[in-house]
Structure 1
Amino acid sequence: MRVARPSFPDELAPLVRRGAGPAHGLLAGGLRRSYGDSCINDGGALIEMIGLDRFILFDRATGLLEAEAGVSLADILKLAIPAGFFLPVTPGTKFATLGGAIANDVHGKNHHRAGTFGRWIRSLSLLRSDGSESVVDDDDTSGLFAATVGGLGLTGVITRATLQLVPIISSNMAVQTIPFGNLQEFFALSAESDSSHDYTVAWVDCLAKGDRLGRGIFTRARHVSDDDLRVKPRGGPSVPFDAPGFLLNRLSIAAFNEAYFRLAGRARQATVSYDPFFYPLDAIGGWNRLYGPRGFYQYQSVVPPAVAAEATAEMLRTIAAAGQGSFLAVLKTFGDIASPGLLSFPRQGTTLALDFANRGGPTLWLLDKLDAIVREAGGRLYPAKDGRLPPAMFRAGYPALDLFTTHLDPGMSSTFWRRMTS
C-alpha cells in the first residue's frame, strides 16, 4: 500500500489524481481506529489526512466549528471545552479524526437523544478523483451528502467540515451505576433512563446463563453544572507486550466477569471527569495487546425493537454455550432518530458490541452463528468494527446499498469494499 502524508491543502488534488489511477484506487485515512478493513486499501494508495488538522473557524457564541478533516476529536475537545461546548456525539475513543467520524457516522452513549455524528454536520467539502471539489450541506438534495455520511470514504476525500457543537456548563459528569440481574431488567432500566438521562450504556456478562442471562452493570449520566470547564485528558499505563494467548480462556474470562460484576456493580453515584466516562480505554496504551499476538475480532450488531429481547437473549445464550466470552461486552438501545447516511449503522433497536480473542476456526464458527441470529432478526453489523462481515450479510443489512453505489467515486476503493463487491 502506497501512503502519502500531506501537510497542506494544496497538496491534496495532485495526490488524488495520482492515487486514483491504479486498479485498487485510493482511500483517505485518519487515525485508523476502525477495527475492520474499512480503513485499509491493500495494494492501492492511502492518503493519511492527520497532517491536515487546522481549525478554520470557531464561533464561540453559537458553537459552530469549521475544521480540516484530519483534526482529532481530542483536539476539538481542547478547543471546545474551555469555551463551554462539547462534542454532540462521541465514540468510545477521542483518537479519531473529524473526517473519520463522518465517514463512519459514529454514534455514542447518547444516541437516544442526539442520534449519530452525521446529524450535527452542517456542511462538508468533498474532493473527487476527477479533480472537482464541492461543498455539500445537510440540505443537499443530490444525495451526495447522505452517501458521504457513513459512506466509508468511498465518495471522495472529505477535506473539511462544519460541525455544530453543543453547549455545556461543566465538563464533569454526574454518573449513576446500577447493577441489573438479567436481560429483562436491562430493558426496563434502559426504557426508564432514556427519558431522564443524556447518556446510557451497559456492560453485560456474556457468560452468565439461566436466570442470570444478560446480567450486568448499567451506567447513566448527564453533564453537571459546577462551572468546571477544564480539559482533563488522562495518561496511563501501556501494555508492553502481547499477552500469551492461553491467558484468555473460558475460566479466566468467567472469573473476571464474576469479579467485575461484584466489585464494580455496586449501586452508586459519583461526579467524574468526562474523560474516564467517555474514553476509558484511551488511558491504556496498546490495550489490544491483551488479546495476544493473534489479536481479536470486534462484533457489533443492532436488531430491531420488536425482536430485540429475543434476539439478544439468543446471542448471549450462543456465546455462553460456546465459552468464548468477552471482557468488553457493551449493550445499549438506539433511539428512533433517523441517521442521515445511506450506509449509517445505527437504527432503532438494541446494539451489542463484543471483543472475541481470535482462536481461528472456533471463533469464526461462533461469529457465523451470531450472524444467523442477527440476519433472522432483520438486523445489521457495523462495517467499521468488523473485519469478516460476509458480503451477503452486508447487502441484507443495508437496503440503501444500490442507491449508495450511484454516488461512488470510481477512483476510491478499500479492502473492505472490494471484499463486499468481489
Structure 2
Amino acid sequence: MSRPTLLTGWGRTAPTAARVVRPRTVQEAARALADAGPRGALPRGLGRSYGDAAQAAGGTVLDCTGLAGPPRLNVRRGEFTAPAGTSMGAILTHLLRHGYVVPAVPGTGHVTLGGAIAADVHGKNHHADSSLGAHVRSLTLLTPTGDLRRLGPDGPDPELFWATVGGMGLTGVVTEATLGVFPVETAHALVDTDRTADLDATLALMERTDHTRPYAVCWVDLLARGGSLGRGVLTRARHARAADLPAPLRRAPLRHRPPAALAAPPWAPPGLLNRWSAAAFNAARHRAAPRRERGRAQPLGGFFHPLDAVRGWNRMYGPRGFVQYQFVVPFGEEDTLRAVAEGLARAGAPSFLAVLKRMGAPTPGPLSFPLPGWTLALDLPAGTPGLARLLDGFDQRVLAAGGRVYLAKDSRARAETVHAMYPELPAWRAARSRADPDGVLVSDLARRLRLV
C-alpha cells in the first residue's frame, strides 16, 4: 500500500492527500479502479487543472502519464491515434515532423491528451475551429465496472461520449483517442500585432478582424485606470507557408523546437506579485508591444505555449498560490466584461496574465465550457484581500448574462451557481451513472460542486 501523497492543482491552493498509483497498462488501471476504497478514485494527467479537479481527498488517484506513447498518424484518413497519457506537446512535436497539427491546441503543451479531452480544451482558434472535442473521432473509455467502451460522436452511446468530453474525468479513464489533423507547410505562425488604447478599442478591433485569421488572442491590462482601462495587445495569426519564411528557415520549414524552459525561482516571497508590481509590469508590457506589426514569423511552440518557456512559473505567486478565473459570456453581453474589468481595477486586484478571446461553435458536451461569445481568463494571487467576495460577485454577473465559469480552472465557485450555469447537468449525470453505477469516480471538485 503506497503512502498518501499531497496533491494540488496548478494554482497550488487547497492541497489534499490521496493514494497515488501509476498504471502502465490498461489492465493495471482497471485493477486500480476495482481496488478503490470508499473514497473512490480519479484519473489524473499532468496536473494542469488550476483548481481541485484532479484531486480526490482520501481516495485513489491514477497518475495516467504512464499510459503514453508516440501518436500513430493515418495520412489517408487525416487523423492520429495516441495513448491518452501522451502530452499534447509531444503530440504536436511528432505531428509537425510530418507536416500536420492538431486543430485545437491548448495554452500549454504540459497536458495529457486524456486530460485535454476531459476538459474539452480550447485554443486561440476557438472562434474558427471550436474546441478539442469537436475533432475527437473516437475514444476508448475504461469504466469502473472494468468495461472498455469504444465511443464516438456518431457511434454507440453518443451521450456517454459527450459526457466524457468536458466531463472532468468523472465518466471513466480515457485510455486512447483518435483525432482529426490538418496539414501545414511549416512549423511557424505568421503573426500580426496591434496595440489598443482601451477596452472599447480592444473589443471593436477583435470583432472587426477575428474572421481574418484562424488564431486570435488579446492580452489586456486590467489594472490600468480611467481611459486606459482594458488596453491590450492583440495578436492574430495564421500558419506560415514556406514562401512566407526568410531563406534560412525555408531550408527546414518543419523543424520544431518546444520553447526552451527557464526555471522559475524555487521559492517566491508572499506579496511579490502585488498591485504595484503587476501594474508596473502591465504598463511596461503595453509600451513594449509594437503599435502595429504585420507578418512576423514565430515558431509555433512559442506562439501556442508562451508560458512553457518558464518552468514552474506558478511558484511566482508565493506559497499561498493563485486563483485562475475564467468565464464566458454571450456576444452582446460586453457590459459584463466592462463590469469585471472595472471591478478588478477598483479593487486593485493584481492580475498580469489576463487573456481575452472570442469563442465560436460549442460542442454538445453537457459540461463543456465554451459557447459563442467572449471569454476572459485571469490569474489572481490567492491571498488578495476580499478576493472571494469579489469573484462571487462576478459569478452572479456572469450567470445573469447567460455565461459560465470554466470547471478546469475553478477552485472556489459555489455549487448552486455552477448548477445554474450548466443546466444540462442532469443529462450528464444520467449518462455518467450508466458508466459508473456505483459512483466510484469522484474528485474534490465534484464533491465541492455537488456534481455527483
The TM-score, its normalising length taken from structure 1, stands at 0.96
Residue of structure 2 equivalent to 1:401 = 425
Structure 2 equivalent of residue 78 of structure 1: 93
Measure, in 2, the Cα distance between the counterparts of 1:388 and 1:90: 26
Matches within 5 A, 1:12-411: 12-19=29-36, 22-55=37-70, 57-140=72-155, 142=157, 143-226=159-242, 228-269=253-294, 270-307=296-333, 309-335=334-360, 337-359=361-383, 361-408=385-432, 409=436, 410-411=439-440
The amino acid that maps onto 1:224 is A
Identity of aligned residues (%): 43
Q: Distance in 1 between matches of 2:80 and 2:412?
A: 36
Contact 2:349 2:384 in 1 (8 A): no
Letter in 2 for 1:99: G
1:140 deviates by 3.7
CA 205–56 in structure 1, closer or farther in 2 if over 3 Å, else same? closer
Please report how far the alpha carbon of residue 144 of structure 1 lies from its aligned counterpart in structure 2 after TM superposition: 0.5
Amino acid at match of 2:447: R
Contact 1:93 1:281 in 2 (8 A): yes
CA displacement 1:290-326 (0-9 Å, x = unmatched): 111111100000011121x100000000000000131
Worse-matched range after superposition: 241-250 or 127-136: 241-250
Per the alignment, in what secondary structure is the counterpart of residue 383 of structure 1? Answer: coil
Paired residues of 2:262 and 2:311 also in contact (CA < 8 A): yes
Residue 125 of structure 1: how far off its partner (Å): 0.7
- Distance in 2 between residues matched to 1:325 and 1:313, nearest whole Å: 17
**Alpha-carbon distance in structure 1 between the residues aligned to 2:32 and 2:280:** 52
SS in 2 for 1:332: strand
Specify the alignment match of 1:9 in structure 2: 26
Give the C-alpha shift of residue 245 in structure 1: 2.0
1:419 and 2:443 correspond: no
Superposed CA offset, 1:333-385 (max 9, x none): 111x1213110000011001000012155222221222222122121100111
CA distance in 2, matches of 1:347, 1:140: 24
- The alpha carbon displacement at 1:35 in A equals 0.3
Q: Which residue of 1 aligns with 2:9?
A: none
CA contact 1:63–1:85 (8 Å) conserved in 2: no
Distance (Å, rounded) in 2 between the aligned partners of 1:201 and 1:78 = 22
Task: Confirm or deny: 8 A CA contact 2:272 2:316 kept in the other structure.
Answer: no
More displaced stretch, 390-399 vs 187-196: 187-196
Q: Is the 8 A contact 2:259 2:306 kept in 1?
A: no
The whole-number CA distance in structure 2 between the counterparts of 1:97 and 1:175 is 27
Q: Which runs of 5+ in 2 are unaligned?
A: 1-17, 243-249
Aligned-pair CA distance for 1:207: 1.3
Count the aligned residue pairs. Answer: 418
* Structure 2: distance between partners of 1:296 and 1:195: 34
> Per-residue displacement from partner, 1:129-185 (whole Å, max 9, x unpaired)?
111111011114631011000000111111111111111111101001101112221
Q: Following the alignment from structure 2 to structure 1, what is the Cα–Cα distance between the partners of residues 145 and 156?
A: 21
Question: Structure 1 residue 249: deviation in Å?
Answer: 2.0
CA contact (8 A) 2:273 2:350 kept: no
Report the Cα distance in structure 2 between the residues aligned to 1:215 and 1:56, rounded to whole angstroms. 41
**Which secondary structure state, in structure 1, belongs to the residue aligned with residue 418 of structure 2?**
helix
RMSD value, Cα:
1.5
Tell me how far apart the structure 1 counterparts of residues 348 and 117 of structure 2 sit (CA, whole Å): 36
1:10-31 superposed Cα distances (whole Å, 9 cap, x missing partner): 3222222112xx2221111111
In structure 2, how many angstroms separate the alpha carbons of the residues matched to 1:54 and 1:222?
29
- Give the equivalent residue in structure 1 for 2:3: none
| Structure 1 segments unaligned to the other structure (5+ residues) | none
Corresponding residue SS for 1:247: coil
- Give the deviation of 1:111 after TM superposition: 0.3
SS at match of 1:179: strand
Shift of 1:253: 1.4
